[in-house]
Structure formats: C-alpha cells, structure tokens
Amino acid sequence: MSRYTGPRLKIMRALGVELPGLLRKSIEDRPNPPGQHGARARRVSGFGAQLREKQKLRFNYGQGERQMRRLMTDAKRSRGSAGELLERRLDNVVFRAGFAPTIPAARQLVTHGHFSVNGRNVTIPSYRVRPGEEIALWRPEKMPDLVKFSIEEPVLTRPEWLSWDAAANKATMTHLPALADVPFPIEIQLVVEYYAQRM
C-alpha cells in the first residue's frame, strides 16, 4: 500500500491518541472516534489492541506495511526496538530537531535536497542517522519559509539525544534514542506480538 494521503485528524481520532509527527492539530475538541456512532463505547479484542499500537507507529512515521515488516526484521536482528529505529530516520530527525512542522513535511524537504548529513547532501528520508552525525541545511541562504517558522516555533521540545546549535541552525545526534523517546504512548510489545504471528 502506498503512503497515506487521506484525512489525518480522522486517523488520530480513530486511534484515540495525538500523533505529533502526523499533524499539528489536536483532538481535544473532538476526542470521540469518527463516524455517526463514534461516541459509542467499543470493546477492543486482543488483536484490536495489537493492530491499534501497530497503526500508531505506522501513521506517525508515515510507513507502509512492507516497510514496517522490514523494520521489524531489522529490529529483531539488531536486538533494538522498532520505535528506536524509526526515531533514527532522517525525516524524523529533521522533524524532532525543529526544522519541519510534521514528518510528511520533513520527508518532502529531505527529498527535495534541503538537508545535509556531515556536509553531504542526503535525499533519502529513510536514511538512519548515527551518533555523532550532524544535520544541517544544505543551502542555509535559501532556507524555505516553512523551515524558518518551524525553527522559531517547534512543535515538540527537542529531545536530549539531539544537541542543537541555535547560531548555526544545526543538530547533532549525541547518542541513540531510546524507546521512551517516542513522543506518544506506545506498547511496543503488542506490536512485536502482532508481527510475530505474521512473519
């Protein structure tokens, strides 16, 4: 399945959680699930709980199902967690550093060649940033207005695994992110259980 391009607020309402990487809006005004009978209490099965946790990761980071399966294989091989690997993606690091308002916006900026890693232009959003690598604008003199606005008012506070140089508008990954650094509540064990039955 290709990348999701439908209504994002509807996804957050269906999952019942705010996904800061997906959208800047909040679900405070309409916390109930979408649909005519959205306010009705529903019983969630074990599979439903696993699917919901998987969908949180998938939609927040903009991953397809095939990418998620590959990611779970990589996480199993490296003895890490999927949340940690997703936090290391270049589009997410650009978002968490405050260069973009959402992950889809960060993905577009990366794809269009606006960012460099250690002075080398990188246009692959799935690039995994390593500790010590520096993320900066490729041409600071041609900084898009979206980036200027995002740097002035970042959506989230910058995580402690990123050091920020305000004078040069550069971010450096100081160490690998942990599962606790994922900016929304997630039960990763349910995601592991979901894929354990399907891989």
Has residue 36 been placed in a domain?
yes
Residue 97 is predicted with a pLDDT of 95
Has residue 105 been placed in a domain?
yes
User: What is the pLDDT of the chain when averaged over all its residues?
Assistant: 91
Has residue 2 been placed in a domain?
no
Has residue 1 been placed in a domain?
no
Q: Could you tell me the residue range of the domain that residue 143 belongs to?
A: 89-176
The CATH number of residue 67's host domain is: 1.10.1050.10
Residue range 70-108, pLDDT digits in tens: 999 998 888 778 888 999 999 999 999 999 999 999 999
Confidence label for 1 from pLDDT (cuts 50, 70 and 90)? very low
Statement to judge: residues 96 and 136 lie in one domain: yes
User: What is the tally of structural domains in the chain?
Assistant: 2
Residue 2 is predicted with a pLDDT of 66
Statement to judge: residues 74 and 146 lie in one domain: no
Has residue 84 been placed in a domain?
no
Neighbours of 129 (CB within 10 A): 24
Statement to judge: residues 30 and 51 lie in one domain: yes
Statement to judge: residues 99 and 140 lie in one domain: yes
pTM of the model: 0.91
Has residue 66 been placed in a domain?
yes
Statement to judge: residues 93 and 75 lie in one domain: no
CA geometry: angle 53, 193, 75, nearest 5 deg: 85
- Compute φ and ψ for 140, nearest 5 degrees: -60, -30
E strands, 63-149, where? 115-117, 120-121, 134-137
The strand pair at 162-165 and 134-137 is best described as: unpaired
Residue 112 is predicted with a pLDDT of 95
| CA distance readout (Å), 77 to 64, 82, 187 | 20, 11, 20
Contact present, 82 and 71 (Cβ < 8 Å)? yes
Residue 81 is predicted with a pLDDT of 81
Residue range 151-187, pLDDT digits in tens: 998 889 999 999 999 899 999 999 999 988 999 999 9
Statement to judge: residues 26 and 42 lie in one domain: yes
The CATH number of residue 134's host domain is: 3.10.290.10
User: What's the whole-number mean pLDDT along residues 35-52?
Assistant: 83
Query: Identity (one letter) of the amino acid at 174?
Result: T
Token representation of residue 24: 């800047």
User: What's the whole-number mean pLDDT along residues 32-60?
Assistant: 86
Confidence label for 49 from pLDDT (cuts 50, 70 and 90)? very high
Confidence label for 38 from pLDDT (cuts 50, 70 and 90)? low
Percent of the chain with pLDDT over 90: 70
Short-list 130, 135, 51, CA closest to 87: 130
